[in-house]
Amino acid sequence: MPSPEFFQVIPVDDALALLDQHWQPLPATETLSTAAALDRILAADLRSPEQVPAFRKSTVDGYALRAADTFGASQSLPAFLRLRGELKMGEAPTDDVGVADALLIHTGGMLPASADAVVMLEQAQVIDEGEIEILRAAAPGENVIQAGEDIAAGALVLPRGQRLRAQDIGGLLAVGISEIPVLARPRVGILSCGDELTPPEARLTPGMVRDINAYTLSALAEKHDAAPLRLGIAADAINDYRQRAEAGFAACDILLLSAGSSVSARDYTRDVINGLGAPGLLQHGLATKPGKPTIIAVCKNKPVIGLPGNPASALLVARQLLPHLIARYLGQAPQSPATREARLSQRVASVTGREDWLPVKLSRAEDGGTLAEPVFGKSNLIFTLIAADGLLRVPLNTGGYEAGSIVDVQLF
Amino acid sequence: MPSPEFFQVIPVDDALALLDQHWQPLPATETLSTAAALDRILAADLRSPEQVPAFRKSTVDGYALRAADTFGASQSLPAFLRLRGELKMGEAPTDDVGVADALLIHTGGMLPASADAVVMLEQAQVIDEGEIEILRAAAPGENVIQAGEDIAAGALVLPRGQRLRAQDIGGLLAVGISEIPVLARPRVGILSCGDELTPPEARLTPGMVRDINAYTLSALAEKHDAAPLRLGIAADAINDYRQRAEAGFAACDILLLSAGSSVSARDYTRDVINGLGAPGLLQHGLATKPGKPTIIAVCKNKPVIGLPGNPASALLVARQLLPHLIARYLGQAPQSPATREARLSQRVASVTGREDWLPVKLSRAEDGGTLAEPVFGKSNLIFTLIAADGLLRVPLNTGGYEAGSIVDVQLF
């Protein structure tokens, strides 16, 4: 007769520290088109192969000229210059400016060799087709970007570890870097175990339930920039469970086991995990509800987590562990979930020695603030989480919250 | 001779209101595998085709029995029951409980027809292989979830307009909904125009620059759940520009034109936009820097935006407009960008009548807070934005900020 589970629980932060201590991520690298690399993590320092701009260019629409020719010019005493023509965009100038010459130039246009300044259109007057008046003295370099002024050849464009934003993709392409090395997304394997589980698309026979953990955990992994790998459903039999876990473990970087709800499946999980390699099981039991029976392990330098079979519990515990593991694999600081301040609609009790995660629904309060209402469910099922907008964390060893307390709700 | 641009600017919020007023989005719908629909928007109310759970099940490991048989049972006066065997997971019971019978049942197991309660393992004692003592009276329904208790057949699982989260995907799959109608991502067409522009992967010849707006704007669209559609580069010639804009316009839901920096390309943009259909141009000029020369239009019920050619300006203006348009297409409230409170390192001046967006770099201040340092660039180029962590908005008609001011920085 199997006995109920008794174990010494530890706080989630301690469990994460244990994982960190036993796991040194060795992320893989892959080459991607820069244009397709939004939100990916650079795997190397990238230096510019060329300077930008590649040539001296005008920052305004105006007249390219030699600043010396405008010395002392003013509204009352303009400098007269010969307008030699117009510089075309996208071409090297085919003409140059000599003494007292000017060429019409557009924003971004390339300066002719002897020009060292541009006077804006508004600061000149056209006399006739071949002559202009410059109404103000120009300083050398005025309205000109020098070659290499934005970035020098050989300068660092972006450092290793940078998560690529829109402007980063633009900057890399601006210097001609169209392929880049990025860290591979960690592959998060997800294996469910239980004789009662069936794939969601299958017809349900009596006694069976659809395996949704594979999909909720996939979505969580995807949301946090990992590549989920659904490993199917293992029978509640040690050999099948072990075989599928071993095959999946080899193909992934982080393994999640979602043990079915039967006692034997839960018992098997420990054995299966310990069979995957050293050091194996690090902790059984977290001081969190839901999530108490969670197993924390590292096998052959890969984190392995044994999650509860209950879908809501599995998802809520995975939320506390998986984003940390993915961020660590990618060398990033874990991002704190977005929160909203709300007033609690009713008293929430808590039990000493564990932290509670309570689904709450948010609504607009009469005073214009936000009201947080706990969503209770008999067996903490997935529909409770669907009805909720976020989670209220009731920390370890507090007395819970009184009705009307102002709390921070972690948004989904 | 082209004249410089003079126009009456309006605040960005007014421009968005103008767009909203002239545009009634008609989003397309597509069918997706539920498992692949994270963050997509449901296009219809989805009701459950079946009840969950499909059968009465146990919420604990224990003994399925008839509650009446435990009436009055206690530690000192236990009820003796015959243990008939074990119920298998994933099967309809092949046995039932008669008077004073019990069957071992696992969490999630299906109750036999005549059982109405489950007593936890801890509250029973095994006498011998065929007999157990129940140490406590069970109430009818105790430790049992009734069929349909989580969700009834025909009940609403999720409403139209819901953005799908991990638990929503789980809930849909739990009731067997494995394909769903979702709103199509809006296709954001991006056309650049300018003789000086070349695709980023091409070799750069003198006078040419790489077209990066197509890529930074694609990334922005992607980040905000739209489907970017890069339409290439139009020559700075009205016919080519018009032809490419028309072809692209037909293929997208929102069109961004990024006019080259030459005067003629800028002038053409107005004509090209007005040629795309009524009502056409709604506003030329926004009270924002960068972004003043932005064009706001709606043609044949599609928003069309004429952006500045400067990559940093184009990206910063698009940030203020595109997320709003995408959210409206999808029927969602626009999400406010994440912000961080920081202390400004130096005085920031502002000009009355426009709002300024200033790239800032964040660092940890000596007092443990966050310091925001403006990143200045001569021509506001993309490398300025790469060096920045976020943007400081200096609102319309304020005097700017003094050094040491506490400001909210919009994070990239």
Question: Is it the case that residue A264 has pLDDT exceeding 70?
Answer: no
Q: Which of B126, B168, B209 sits opposite A53 (nearest CB)?
A: B209
Question: Is it the case that residue B3 has pLDDT exceeding 50?
Answer: no
- The answer to whether A262 contacts B108, with C-beta atoms less than 8 Å apart, is yes
What ipTM was assigned to the predicted interfaces of this complex? 0.93
Using a CB-CB distance cutoff of 8 angstroms, which residues of chain B are in contact with residue A338?
338
Domain assignment of residue B153, yes or no: no
Question: Is it the case that residue A396 has pLDDT exceeding 90?
Answer: no
The whole domain housing A397 covers: 339-411
Average pLDDT over residues A286-308: 95
Q: What is the mean pLDDT of chain A?
A: 93
pLDDT of residue A354: 87
Domain boundary among A183, A199, A234: A183
Using a CB-CB distance cutoff of 8 angstroms, which residues of chain A are in contact with residue B35?
200, 215, 218
Give the model's confidence band at B336: pLDDT under 50 very low, under 70 low, under 90 confident, else very high: confident
pLDDT of residue B2: 39
What's the structural domain count of chain B? 4
Domain assignment of residue A7, yes or no: no
Q: How far is A351 from chain B (nearest CA, A)?
A: 20
Reduced 3-state DSSP string for chain A: CCCCCCCCCECHHHHHHHHHHHCCCCCCEEEEEHHHCCCCEECCCEECCCCECCCCEECCCEEEECHHHHCCCCCCCCEEEEEEEECCCCCCCCCCCCCCEEEEECCCCECCCCCCEEEEHHHEEEEECCEEEECCCCCCCCCEECCCCCECCCCEEECCCCECCHHHHHHHHHCCCCEEEEECCCEEEEEEECCCEECCCCCCCCCCEECCHHHHHHHHHHHCCCEEEEEEEECCCHHHHHHHHHHHHHHCCEEEEEECCCHHHHHHHHHHHHCCCCEEEEEECECEECCCCCEEEEECCEEEEEECCCHHHHHHHHHHHHHHHHHHHCCCCCCCCCEEEEEECCCECCCCCCEEEEEEEEEECCCCCEEEEECCCCCCCHHHHHCCCEEEEECCCCCCECCCCEEEEEEC
Give the model's confidence band at A376: pLDDT under 50 very low, under 70 low, under 90 confident, else very high: confident
Give the model's confidence band at B261: pLDDT under 50 very low, under 70 low, under 90 confident, else very high: low
**pLDDT tens column, A37-72:** 999 999 999 999 999 999 999 999 999 999 999 999
Long-range contacts (CB closer than 8 Å, 24 or more residues apart) made by A263-266:
A263/A2, A263/B61, A263/B106, A263/B107, A264/A2, A264/A236, A265/A193, A265/A194, A265/A236, A265/A241, A265/A309, A266/A5, A266/A293, A266/A309
Q: What is the pTM of this model?
A: 0.93
User: What CATH number corresponds to the domain at position A398?
Assistant: 2.40.340.10
Comparing B5 with B365, the larger pLDDT belongs to B365
Please check whether residues A355 and A292 belong to one and the same domain: no
**pLDDT tens column, A123-141:** 999 998 899 999 999 999 9
Please check whether residues A237 and A315 belong to one and the same domain: yes
Residue of chain A nearest B150, judged by CA positions: A383
Domain boundary among B93, B116, B145: B145
Domain assignment of residue A354, yes or no: yes
Domain assignment of residue A276, yes or no: yes
Average pLDDT over residues A7-30: 95
Please check whether residues B256 and B312 belong to one and the same domain: yes
**pLDDT tens column, B148-192:** 998 999 999 999 999 999 999 999 999 999 999 999 999 999 999
Q: How far is A5 from chain B (nearest CA, A)?
A: 10
* % of residues, chain B, pLDDT over 90: 84
Question: Is it the case that residue A411 has pLDDT exceeding 90?
Answer: yes
**pLDDT tens column, B282-309:** 999 999 989 889 999 999 999 999 999 8
Please check whether residues B384 and B324 belong to one and the same domain: no
Q: How far is A121 from chain B (nearest CA, A)?
A: 7
Please check whether residues A280 and A164 belong to one and the same domain: no
Please check whether residues B21 and B95 belong to one and the same domain: no
Question: Is it the case that residue B396 has pLDDT exceeding 90?
Answer: no
Domain assignment of residue A3, yes or no: no
Using a CB-CB distance cutoff of 8 angstroms, which residues of chain B are in contact with residue A2?
61, 121
- The answer to whether B210 contacts A176, with C-beta atoms less than 8 Å apart, is yes
Question: Is it the case that residue A256 has pLDDT exceeding 80?
Answer: yes
Give the model's confidence band at B260: pLDDT under 50 very low, under 70 low, under 90 confident, else very high: low
User: What CATH number corresponds to the domain at position B135?
Assistant: 2.170.190.11
**pLDDT tens column, B67-111:** 999 999 999 999 999 999 999 999 999 999 999 999 999 988 999
Domain assignment of residue A304, yes or no: yes
- The answer to whether B215 contacts A158, with C-beta atoms less than 8 Å apart, is no
Cβ atoms of B97 and B114 within 8 Å: the answer is yes
What residues have CB less than 8 Å from A62, skipping those under 6 apart? Answer: A104, A105, A118, A119, A120, A121, A123, A124, A143
Please check whether residues B34 and B175 belong to one and the same domain: yes
Token duo for residue B323: 């997320």
Run of H or E residues at B158: strand B156-158
**pLDDT tens column, A179-206:** 999 999 999 999 999 999 999 999 999 9
Please check whether residues B109 and B70 belong to one and the same domain: yes
Domain boundary among B296, B329, B362: B329
Please check whether residues A193 and A295 belong to one and the same domain: yes
Please check whether residues B306 and B192 belong to one and the same domain: yes
**pLDDT tens column, B193-252:** 999 999 999 999 999 999 999 999 999 999 999 999 999 999 989 999 999 999 999 999
pLDDT of residue A3: 42
Rounded Cα distance, A188 and A327, in Å: 12
- The answer to whether A170 contacts B212, with C-beta atoms less than 8 Å apart, is yes
Average pLDDT over residues A327-338: 93
Taking one residue from A and the other from B, the number of pairs with CB-CB distance under 8 angstroms is 271
User: What CATH number corresponds to the domain at position B172?
Assistant: 3.90.105.10
CA angle A42, B215, A147 (to 5 degrees): 80
Domain assignment of residue B150, yes or no: no
Using a CB-CB distance cutoff of 8 angstroms, which residues of chain A are in contact with residue B217?
166
Q: Which of A4, A108, A194 sits opposite B261 (nearest CB)?
A: A108
Cα-Cα-Cα-Cα dihedral sign, residues A171, A177, A179, A185: negative
Please check whether residues A315 and A357 belong to one and the same domain: no
Cβ atoms of B193 and B236 within 8 Å: the answer is yes
Token duo for residue A81: 């210059």
Give the model's confidence band at A4: pLDDT under 50 very low, under 70 low, under 90 confident, else very high: very low
- The answer to whether B171 contacts A382, with C-beta atoms less than 8 Å apart, is yes
Please check whether residues B129 and B198 belong to one and the same domain: no
Mutate to test the interface with B, among A107, A195, A197, A204 (most CBs of B within 10 A): A107
Rounded Cα distance, B365 and B372, in Å: 9
- The answer to whether B165 contacts A1, with C-beta atoms less than 8 Å apart, is no
User: What CATH number corresponds to the domain at position B279?
Assistant: 3.40.980.10
Domain assignment of residue B151, yes or no: no
pLDDT of residue B379: 61
pLDDT of residue B264: 66
Q: What is the mean pLDDT of chain B?
A: 93
Rounded Cα distance, B202 and A123, in Å: 37
pLDDT of residue A263: 63
